[in-house]
Amino acid sequence: MSQDLELGLYVFVLATFLGLEIIRRVSPLLHTPLMSLTNAISAITIVGSILVAGEQKTTLSTVLGSIAVACSMINIVGGYLITYRMLRMFRKSGKNRP
């Protein structure tokens, strides 16, 4: 096993356990915002997309990369915005929404 792979697997396993612990604590009240936020976070695929689109190695890779950048960007912009919008709607009794 190469060192990169070994390290990558450690990171993956630890991040998964951390994720399970954190997400378990999220109130069911917020499960919809949770899903739209994790959806926005998984748009981290933009990192790979930018590299493929920007390296300009072949036409095919540039085209596929650019489409991927656009798709990821949709989720980044849309995901964070709608999560914020949703959370602004949650208010406690006796307080009116600003």
CB of 24 to another protein, least distance (A): 6
Spatial contact of 91 and 79, defined as CB atoms under 8 Å apart: no
- What is the rounded CA–CA span in Å between residue 51 and residue 55? 6
Q: Does 2 bind another protein (CB under 8 A)?
A: yes
- What is the rounded CA–CA span in Å between residue 81 and residue 88? 11
Helix (H, G, I), strand (E, B) or coil at 2: coil
Write the interaction track for another protein spanning residues 36-55; mark x where CB under 8 A is met and - where it is not: xxxxxxxxxxxxxxxxxxxx
CB of 37 to another protein, least distance (A): 6
Q: Distance of CA 91 to CAs 43, 71, 83, Å?
A: 29, 33, 15
Using CB under 8 A, which residues numbered 66 to 95 contact another protein?
66-95
CB of 17 to another protein, least distance (A): 8
CB of 21 to another protein, least distance (A): 9
Q: Which two tokens stand for residue 73?
A: 């960007």
Using CB under 8 A, which residues numbered 7 to 36 contact another protein?
7-8, 11-12, 15-20, 22-36
Q: Does 59 bind another protein (CB under 8 A)?
A: no
- What is the rounded CA–CA span in Å between residue 16 and residue 42? 14
